[in-house]
Amino acid sequence: MSVDIDITQFYQTFFEEAEELLVQMEQLLLEVDIESPDAEALNAIFRAAHSIKGGAATFGFTALTETTHIFENLLDRTRRRELALSRVIIDTFLETKDVLHDQLNAYRNGTEPDPETLARICAVLQQLAQEASGEAAPAPAATPAPVAASAPAAAPAGGNLKVSLIKISAADQALLREELANLGEITGQQESDGDLIIWLNSQCSPDDIIAVCCFVIDEKQIAVEAVTPGEAPAAPVAAPTPAPVAAPAAVAPVAPAAAPVAAKEKEKAKPAAAHSPDAGSIRVPTEKVDQIINLVGELVITQSMLAQTASSLDPVLFDRLFSGMGQLERNARDLQEAVMSIRMMPMDYVFSRFPRLVRDMMGKLGKQIDLVTFGKATELDKGLIERIIDPLTHLVRNSLDHGIETPEKRIAAGKEPTGQLILSAQHAGGNIVIEVSDDGAGLNRERILAKAMQNGLPVSESMPDDEVWQLIFAPGFSTAEVITDVSGRGVGMDVVKRNIQEMGGHVEISSRAGLGTTTRIVLPLTLAILDGMSVRTGEETFILPLNCVMESLQPLADDVHTAANGERVMNVRGEYLPLLELHKVFNVTNAVQEPTQGIAVILAAEGKRFALLVDQLIGQHQVVLKNLETNYRKVPCISAATILGDGSVALIVDVGALQRTGVRRQAPMAA
């Protein structure tokens, strides 16, 4: 009886696990001490390649299997000290990791990897193996006895194997029988009480076979041992001739010695896995998490509706109802925070990508750079963490290229020859602040202004430094004297700022000549459910994010002034803030026209403050964000919409966009 199982259902799990293994491999390779490599690190790199090879072989990913097979052999020789590490070898291993990543992406996208790249990297690895063999002692393959003595950790090289699969279902038996047939020739099989024993003639090692089977069943259900051909039961396959019996006799002593070592090696890996952050975790598709978040949002809306209905009741007569409403509100908030945390990922996911970038850039630029990271455990929403990688990469490359000087220039300036690049992340209120700092030469104010004038930008010598630094984000702006393959074309920084603003954040720059530059990215933590302040203007209700609200007050006639350009400003304890009238921005009728009759809400966004004139304050409460662009279209200065307790729709103000555009333009926004 044959059972058809769609093996493609396991693809996504393999892709995710292989991606994680490649990231781990790169980190370990970058941390390897060439002079005195850590044995556990080398074993971990080998196990990562071995696991990827097993999975690739299971799913029939030929190119990935071929590459990892050659790569694994080199790593095995490295960990057994048969291959001496060098910078060239590490570079080759890193290049191989890149090729593996490209192959993985190709299979993920349903295409075949580039055959030319496959042939090239395999040739490079084989050449490396041949060169290492030429430097080493004569190959021990001709004399099996020395193999056992010189490399006791090696698994048997294959041959006649007995594969015992314990307590597995009929469906798994059929699948594993088919997969084992792809690894060699099945010379016999035996079924008994859910157990399946298969005699396999294969060139694969027991570790390879276990790795393949582990994608279907648990490792403890698998046992692989070397046998002589005569031990296999009769099968419809031609039995091996008695002549080669002498050969297995030489192999037989290897198997018992190697098997315990392989078992010990696997046991070493288990404690590490038990203490890993992912211990006890399960994989859940993002769509399911988003569905839960949407349901929590609906719960918050329902709770708000009930609270509004209950507000009209007598609290004395309905004491138990009000008590229950308070408990519901607390439970809804706790549930919201718990669900939101599921989507959060540590910034280490992003920071782990930059040691490789720094290493490659040092080689290209001839610089010495020490990378330091802080706040790797700081969490950011998964939707934002994927989008922040590209802007952050541009900023890091900019610091490495333009910020940090060459060793010669640093020594001449009285600095250490090795520059320092610092990546940090921390929570600040309802935001996450990511900083890229270097101890380089700093930004050149005169050169930036000269380049801005050359490009026709409206600048002046009296501009404050903060505004001058922002000029580097202008399209096509670059002060580089020479165009290289690294930078100098003036593309990228404008995209960085635009991408960050699209995520609801902003970017700030501070710089001191000779001391370095710091770039700050400020992003909202999450935009699914937020604490907001509802305000009324005319007949319309708007929501202001509570983390942007500093204070509110009623303006006095002496506090409101009209500037020379016709714009209004408001004096708040000696500081003159732009006064923006909300009804003019969104063309709301029947609103309060006189500032002294309304309420001024002081808002802060992108490091600047301004006053927003509204008719009245309604209150503070949680609101659920509904994507306005998906359901209607993008509206300037509006980030999203929400449903209030009475069922009406309120618009959520994009305070950052309002600060950037509304303050300078009192004309009504297009509805």
Q: Does residue 320 lie within any of the structural domains?
A: no
Mark whether 360 and 498 lie in a shared domain: yes
- Taking CA atoms, 208 is separated from 58, 202, 213, 292, in Å, by 10, 10, 9, 40
- Could you report the average pLDDT of every consecutive run of 10 residues in the chain (671 residues)? 61 84 88 85 88 86 89 86 85 90 89 89 86 52 34 46 85 79 82 84 79 74 78 47 36 36 39 42 73 82 83 86 88 81 83 88 88 88 83 90 90 91 82 89 87 83 84 75 50 79 84 90 72 89 89 90 82 89 88 89 85 90 76 79 82 83 51 43
C-beta separation of 54 from 68 below 8 A: no
The count of domains in the chain is 4
**Neighbouring-strand partners of residue 626:** 641
What per-residue confidence (pLDDT) applies to 492? 66
Which helix (H) or strand (E) is 386 found in, with range? Answer: helix 382-398
Distance (Å, whole) CA 282 – CA 299: 25
Token pair listed for 655: 């305070």
Q: Does residue 357 lie within any of the structural domains?
A: yes
What per-residue confidence (pLDDT) applies to 157? 45
> At CA 205, angle to CA 63 and CA 203, rounded to 5?
70
Tokens 């202004």 correspond to: 449
Q: Does residue 512 lie within any of the structural domains?
A: yes
Token pair listed for 323: 């008590």
Q: What is the largest CA-CA distance in the chain?
A: 110
Tokens 């056992």 correspond to: 148
**Residues above pLDDT 70, as percent of the chain:** 81
What is the domain range of residue 361? Answer: 345-479+488-524
Q: Burial, 130: exposed, middle or buried (Cβ in 10 Å; 0-12, 13-18, 19+)?
A: exposed
What per-residue confidence (pLDDT) applies to 470? 85
Mark whether 392 and 510 lie in a shared domain: yes
Mark whether 382 and 498 lie in a shared domain: yes
What per-residue confidence (pLDDT) applies to 670? 45
Token pair listed for 211: 């790795």
Q: Does residue 34 lie within any of the structural domains?
A: yes
Question: Measuring CA to CA, which residue among 623, 406, 400 is closest to residue 519?
Answer: 400
DSSP symbols for 211-245: HHHTTTS-GGGEEEEE--GGGSPP-SSPPPPSGGG
What per-residue confidence (pLDDT) applies to 486? 53
The structure's pTM equals 0.58
Can you give the CATH number for the domain in which 424 is found? 3.30.565.10
Can you give the CATH number for the domain in which 655 is found? 2.40.50.180
DSSP state of 557: G
Distance (Å, whole) CA 12 – CA 18: 10
Strand order in the sheet with 540-545: 616-624, 529-537, 540-545, 649-653, 638-643
Question: If DSSP codes are grouped into helix, strand and coil, which group holds residue 500?
Answer: helix
What per-residue confidence (pLDDT) applies to 602? 93
First-to-last C-alpha distance (Å) of the chain = 66
Question: If DSSP codes are grouped into helix, strand and coil, which group holds residue 330?
Answer: helix
Distance (Å, whole) CA 645 – CA 308: 6
Mark whether 388 and 441 lie in a shared domain: yes
Question: Measuring CA to CA, which residue among 47, 63, 55 is closest to residue 16?
Answer: 55
Radius of gyration of the chain (CA): 33
What per-residue confidence (pLDDT) applies to 271? 38
DSSP state of 487: S
Mark whether 505 and 535 lie in a shared domain: no
C-beta separation of 371 from 423 below 8 A: yes
Mark whether 83 and 171 lie in a shared domain: no
What per-residue confidence (pLDDT) applies to 233? 58
